[in-house]
Amino acid sequence: MDLVTQTVLGAGVGELVLGKKAGNKAIFWGAVGGLIPDLDVLITPFFSEVDGLFVHRGFSHSLIFSFLLAPVLGWLIYRFHRKKMNITRGEWTILIFWAVFTHPILDYFTTYGTGALLPFSDFRVELGTIGIVDIFYTLPFILVLLVIPFLRRESLLRRRLISSTIILTSLYLLGTVGNKVHINSVFKEAFAKQHITYERFKTTPLPLSNFLWMGLAESDSGYYMALHSNFDSRIPADFLFIPRNEAKLDAIAENEHINKLIRFTKGYYHVNEDENGLYLADLRFGKMGIDENADFIFKFYIKNEDGEVLIRQSNESRTLDDTAFLNFIGRIKGI
C-alpha cells in the first residue's frame, strides 16, 4: 500500500509490541520498520524500467526478509538505547520483526504483485482485495497515533486505543476479502446477462475505499471492463470493450523486456498508439477517472530504435483534476 499507510501501520505495531516499556520510541522504531521494505524504490533507478517493476516489492517484501533484518536492526537499536532503557536486544528484535513482517502481509492484499516467496520462487502474490490507497484502513491509525504520544506509556487507555485500532483495521481488511467474493458474484451475473464469454476475469478495488470496483473479463481478443459500486442499485450493464491489440507488438514480440512487461501485467494489457507513440497499458490498475476516455494509470511507452527496444513509464496520466475527482467520488456513492 502507500507509504503513509505502511508507516503508520508499523508505528501502531511498534506501540502494541513494546509501547508499555519503550513509550514513543516504540512508535518511532515501529514506523522505521514499517517503512524499510519500501526503501527498495531507492535502488530501482539502477535497473531498467521494466526490471525495476520487479525490484519494487521484491526481496524486501518476501516472508524471509523480516527474519533476516530483525536481529541486525534489533541489535543496533539495543546498542543505541541500552544505557538509558532497560529493554533487551530480543525485545527490540521482536518489535522490528513484526513492524517489517506486517508490511508485506498488507501488500499481498493489493493488486501490484508482491514477491512473497523470494528468493526461492518469483511468483508474485496479488490478492486484489484492497486498493493501494484506502482511507478507511489508514485513517484510524493516523487518528490514534495523534493521541497516543501524549498519554503515559503505562496508561491503560493507551493500550486499549492501539489494540482496538489494530483489531478494527484487521477486521476491515478481512472484510475486503468477503467484499471481493461478493463483487465477483455480481460481475459473474453481469457477464452472464450480457452474454459475455470469457477465459478468465478479475476484479480490482479502485483507490480511496473498498466500495468501487473494476471488473475485467478477458476474451480471445481483448477485455470487457465495467465499474460497480457496493451502493449501485443494479448490476453492471454497460461494458467497455478494450482490444488487446497484441499484433502491434509483432515486430518486437521476442524482446525480453516486452515479455517481462507483459508478465508483470499478468496478461491484462492493452496496446495502442497516441500522440506520444506506441504504448502498453496495464489494465489491472484501471484509469484516472471514470470517463471511458480517461488515461490509463499504468502506461508504458515503447520505442524501437534500430532493433533496440526502449520502454519508459508514463507519469503524465497520474493527475486528476477537480471535476474528475468529484465525478469519481460521486461514482463511489453509487447509481
Query: Per residue in 106-149, pLDDT tens?
Result: 999 999 999 999 999 999 999 999 999 999 999 999 999 999 99
Q: pLDDT digit string (tens) for 142-169? A: 999 999 999 999 999 999 999 999 999 9
The highest-confidence range among 28-42, 279-293, 318-332, by mean pLDDT, is: 28-42
pLDDT at position 95: 98
pLDDT band, residue 198 (cuts 50/70/90): very high
Better pLDDT: 9 or 275: 9
Whether residue 290 is predicted with pLDDT greater than 90 in this model: the reply is no
Whether residue 84 is predicted with pLDDT greater than 60 in this model: the reply is yes
pLDDT at position 243: 96
Per-chain mean pLDDT for the chain: 94
Q: What is the spatial distance between Cα 255 and Cα 263, in angstroms, rounded to a whole number?
A: 12
C-alpha cell recorded at residue 102: 506486517
C-alpha cell recorded at residue 101: 513482517
**Quick check: 198 and 180 in contact, CB under 8 A?**
no
Q: How far is Cα of residue 9 from the mean position of the Cα atoms in its chain?
A: 14
pLDDT at position 280: 96
Mean pLDDT of 23-47: 95
Q: pLDDT digit string (tens) for 263-272? A: 999 999 999 9
Q: How far is Cα of residue 171 from the mean position of the Cα atoms in its chain?
A: 18
pLDDT at position 319: 66
**Quick check: 153 and 23 in contact, CB under 8 A?**
yes
Q: pLDDT digit string (tens) for 209-268? A: 999 999 999 999 999 999 999 999 999 999 999 999 999 999 898 999 999 999 999 999
Whether residue 48 is predicted with pLDDT greater than 60 in this model: the reply is yes
Q: What is the spatial distance between Cα 270 and Cα 208, in angstroms, rounded to a whole number?
A: 25
C-alpha cell recorded at residue 334: 453509487
Residues 6+ apart with CB under 8 A from 152: 158
C-alpha cell recorded at residue 13: 505495531
Q: What is the spatial distance between Cα 298 and Cα 280, in angstroms, rounded to a whole number?
A: 9
Mean pLDDT of 281-289: 90
pLDDT at position 62: 96
Write out the DSSP string of 216-238.
EEE-SSEEEEEEEETT-SS----
Q: How far is Cα of residue 270 from the mean position of the Cα atoms in its chain?
A: 21
Counting runs of H as helices and runs of E as strands, what totals does the chain give?
Answer: 9, 8
pLDDT at position 23: 94
pTM: predicted TM-score of the whole model, two decimal places? 0.91
pLDDT at position 318: 61
Identify the sign of the CA torsion 104, 105, 107, 111.
Answer: positive
Q: Alpha helices, DSSP H only, in 57-197?
A: 65-81, 89-107, 135-147, 156-193
Whether residue 317 is predicted with pLDDT greater than 60 in this model: the reply is no
Whether residue 322 is predicted with pLDDT greater than 80 in this model: the reply is no
Q: From the CB of residue 275, how many other CB atoms can be counted at a distance below 10 Å?
A: 4
Residues of the chain above pLDDT 70, percent: 99
